[in-house]
C-alpha cells in the first residue's frame, strides 16, 4: 500500500518542487530587474547632478566674463544659470538623500535659482545688476567650483569602485550608520563645507521669496480664547456658544492662532474656523458637506457669495474667477477701490448649489495683504497698453488691477479679458512699462463670472 502511495505521490511532489523552484527563480529575476532599474535611475540622476553642477560653475564664469554693459548677454547667462540650477535641484530630488544632511546644499541651489530668475526677468537696461549683486555672482562662482570639484571626486570613486546607490538606500532604510560608505561620506562633506560658507548677501528680491507669513505682520491687540469664541458665535450666527471648542495653536511662537470647532448638522465633523491670535482675524472657515443636487446657477451663487462677504465686513468685493466641483461653486472675490481690482487682498468662497449655503471661506490673502496703499496713476492709457497684446486678441473688457507678478512685486496692470485662438484669456499688462506680466486661460464656465460687475 505504502509502495503504491509513494509511486503516486513522488511525481506530484517532484512537479510541485520543480514548480516552486521555477516560481522562486522568476521572483528572483523580477526582483533583480527592479533593483537594476532603481540602481540605473539613481546612477543617472547622480551623474547628471555632477554634470549640471559643473555646468553651473561654467555658466556663472561665462556670465561674469561678459562686458558689464552687455545686458542681453547677462540676461542670457542668468537664464541659463536658472535653468541649470533647476535641473540640479530636480536630480537631487531623485536621489535617496532624505536622511542625509544635504539640506544646506539644496538651499544654496534654490537661492541661486531664485537669484538668477529674479535678476533675469527684470529690465536690466533700466535696472542693471548693482555692485552687491555682482559680488554675489563672484561668490557663487567660487562656491560652485568647490562643490563641483567635490562631486567630481565622489563620481570618480563611484566609477572606479563600481559603487552602488542601492547600498546607500539600504543602509539609510535600515538606520545603520554607513560611516564607511564613500557616497554618503562624500555628500556629507559637501554639505558640511556649504554650511561653513560665509553668509551670502542675497538681494532683497531673493530673500522676499522666503518671507513667511506670521503674526508679526498683523496689527491689533492679542486676543484670548473667550474673545475668539465670541467672534465665532457672531460669524456663525448662533445663540448658544456652549458647544464651541477653542484650541490655541503654537503658543509662544510667531504662528499663534486659535482653532474653533462648532457642531453643525449635515457635516461630517462640524464647522471649523481659524483665527489669528494677534488682531483676532478670521483666516479660514469650512463646513463641508455632501451636496447631492444642483438647483442654483452661477449668477445666483455669485450673488449669494457677494452678499455673504458684504455682511461679514468684506466690502466692495467683485467676483474674478469661478469653478464648480461636486455641486459646489468655488469663487474668488477681490475688492475694487477707485476702479482698481486688488488681487493682493482676494478671498475665496464656497457656495453649495442645492440651497445656497456658504460652506467655506479662505481669507488668509486678505488678512495678510490688507494695508493702506497709495496706488499711483498709470503711466500708460488702456489703449496704449493694449498695443502690446496679440493683434488677434479680441478684448471684451478692460479694468485696472493690482497683482503680484512672478517675482512677488505688487504692480498695477490693465486686466484685459478676451478671446484668441478659440480660448478665453485674462491678460495683465503692466500699466507703467507695457510688459505682459501674467496670462491666465479661463474655462468656459468662468465666462459669466470673470467680467467685473
Specify whether 181 is located in the same domain as 55: yes
Residue 72 belongs to a domain:
yes
Residue 27 pLDDT level (bands cut at 50, 70, 90): low
Among 210, 229, 254, where does a domain finish? 210
Residues 167 and 30 grouped into a single domain: yes
Do 135 and 170 belong together in one domain?
yes
Residue 398 · residue 413 · CB < 8 Å: no
Say how many domains are in the chain.
3
- 73 plus 203 within the same structural domain: yes
Give domain status of residue 249, yes or no: yes
> What is the rounded distance in angstroms from the CA atom of residue 354 to the CA atom of residue 328?
8
Choosing from 189, 210, 231, the residue where a domain stops is 210
Q: Does a structural domain hold residue 277?
A: yes
357, 337: one domain: yes
In angstroms, what CA-CA distances link 383 with 84, 341, 386, 431, 434? 39, 18, 5, 11, 11
Residue 131 sits in the same domain as residue 176: yes
Q: What is the mean pLDDT of residues 229-240?
A: 89
Phi-psi category of residue 315: left, alpha or beta, with phi > 0 → left and psi -120 to 50 → alpha: beta
pLDDT > 70? residue 10: no
387 within some domain: yes
Q: Are residues 98 and 192 in the same domain?
A: yes
Q: For the residues 312-325, what does the mean pLDDT come to?
A: 89
Backbone dihedral angles phi then psi of residue 404, each to the nearest 5 degrees? -105, 125
Task: Clarify whether residues 259 and 134 are in a common domain.
Answer: no
Question: Residue 415's pLDDT is what?
Answer: 95
Looking at the domain assignment, is residue 228 inside a domain? Answer: yes
The domain boundary, picked from 173, 195, 210, lies at: 210
Question: Is residue 218 predicted with pLDDT exceeding 60?
Answer: yes
Give CA–CA dist 235/222, Å, rounded.
Answer: 19
Which pLDDT tens digit goes with each residue over 242-270?
888 988 887 766 678 889 998 888 777 78
Domain membership of residue 363 (yes or no) is: yes
The pLDDT value given to residue 453: 44
7 lies in a domain? Answer: no
Residues 175 and 77 in one domain: yes
Residue 411: give the domain boundaries.
382-450
Q: Higher confidence at residue 161 or residue 373?
A: 373
How many residues would you count in the chain? 453
Where residue 399 sits, what CATH number does that domain have?
A: 3.10.450
Claim to verify: residue 148 and residue 74 sit in the same structural domain: yes
Note whether 60 and 198 are same-domain residues.
yes
In a domain, 9, yes or no: no
**Region 140-164 average pLDDT:** 85
Indicate if 240 and 389 belong to the same structural domain: no
Amino acid at each position: 500500500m505504502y509502495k503504491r502511495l509513494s509511486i503516486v505521490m513522488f511525481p506530484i511532489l517532484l512537479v510541485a518542487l520543480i514548480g516552486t523552484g521555477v516560481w522562486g527563480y522568476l521572483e528572483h529575476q523580477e526582483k533583480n530587474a527592479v533593483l537594476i532599474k532603481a540602481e540605473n535611475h539613481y546612477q543617472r540622476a547622480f551623474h547628471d547632478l555632477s554634470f549640471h553642477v559643473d555646468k553651473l560653475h561654467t555658466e556663472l564664469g561665462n556670465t561674469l566674463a561678459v562686458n558689464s554693459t552687455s545686458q542681453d548677454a547677462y540676461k542670457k547667462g542668468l537664464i541659463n544659470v536658472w535653468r541649470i540650477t533647476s535641473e540640479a535641484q530636480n536630480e537631487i530630488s531623485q536621489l535617496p538623500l532624505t536622511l542625509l544632511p544635504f539640506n544646506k546644499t539644496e538651499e544654496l541651489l534654490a537661492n541661486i535659482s531664485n537669484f538668477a530668475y529674479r535678476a533675469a526677468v527684470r529690465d536690466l537696461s533700466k535696472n542693471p545688476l548693482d555692485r552687491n549683486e555682482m559680488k554675489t555672482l563672484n561668490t557663487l562662482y567660487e562656491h560652485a567650483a568647490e562643490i563641483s570639484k567635490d562631486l567630481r571626486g565622489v563620481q570618480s570613486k563611484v566609477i572606479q569602485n563600481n559603487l552602488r546607490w542601492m547600498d546607500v538606500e539600504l543602509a539609510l532604510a535600515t538606520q545603520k550608520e554607513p560611516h564607511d560608505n564613500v557616497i554618503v561620506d562624500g555628500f556629507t562633506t559637501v554639505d558640511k563645507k556649504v554650511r561653513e560658507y560665509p553668509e551670502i548677501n542675497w538681494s532683497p528680491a531673493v530673500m522676499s521669496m522666503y518671507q513667511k507669513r506670521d503674526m508679526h505682520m498683523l496689527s491689533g491687540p492679542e486676543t484670548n480664547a473667550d474673545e475668539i469664541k465670541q467672534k465665532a458665535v457672531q460669524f456663525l450666527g448662533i445663540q448658544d456658544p456652549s458647544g464651541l471648542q477653542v484650541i490655541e495653536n503654537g503658543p509662544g511662537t510667531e504662528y499663534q492662532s486659535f482653532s474653533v470647532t462648532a457642531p453643525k448638522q449635515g457635516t461630517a465633523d462640524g464647522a471649523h474656523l481659524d483665527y489669528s491670535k494677534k488682531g483676532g482675524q478670521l483666516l479660514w472657515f469650512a463646513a463641508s458637506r455632501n451636496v447631492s443636487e444642483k438647483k442654483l446657477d452661477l449668477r445666483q451663487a455669485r450673488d449669494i457669495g457677494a452678499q455673504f462677504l458684504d455682511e461679514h465686513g468684506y466690502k466692495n468685493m467683485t467676483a474674478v474667477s469661478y469653478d464648480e466641483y461636486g455641486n459646489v461653486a468655488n469663487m474668488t472675490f477681490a475688492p475694487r477701490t477707485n476702479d482698481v481690482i486688488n488681487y493682493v487682498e482676494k478671498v475665496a468662497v464656497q457656495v453649495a448649489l442645492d440651497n445656497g449655503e456658504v460652506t467655506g471661506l479662505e481669507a488668509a490673502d486678505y488678512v495678510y495683504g490688507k494695508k493702506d496703499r497709495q496706488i499711483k496713476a498709470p503711466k500708460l492709457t488702456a489703449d496704449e497698453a493694449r498695443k502690446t497684446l496679440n493683434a488677434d486678441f479680441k478684448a471684451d473688457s478692460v479694468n485696472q488691477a493690482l497683482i503680484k507678478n512672478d517675482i512677488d512685486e505688487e504692480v498695477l496692470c490693465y486686466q484685459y479679458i478676451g478671446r484668441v485662438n478659440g480660448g478665453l484669456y485674462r491678460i495683465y499688462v503692466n500699466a507703467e512699462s507695457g510688459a505682459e506680466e501674467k496670462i491666465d486661460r479661463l474655462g468656459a464656465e468662468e465666462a459669466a463670472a470673470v467680467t467685473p460687475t
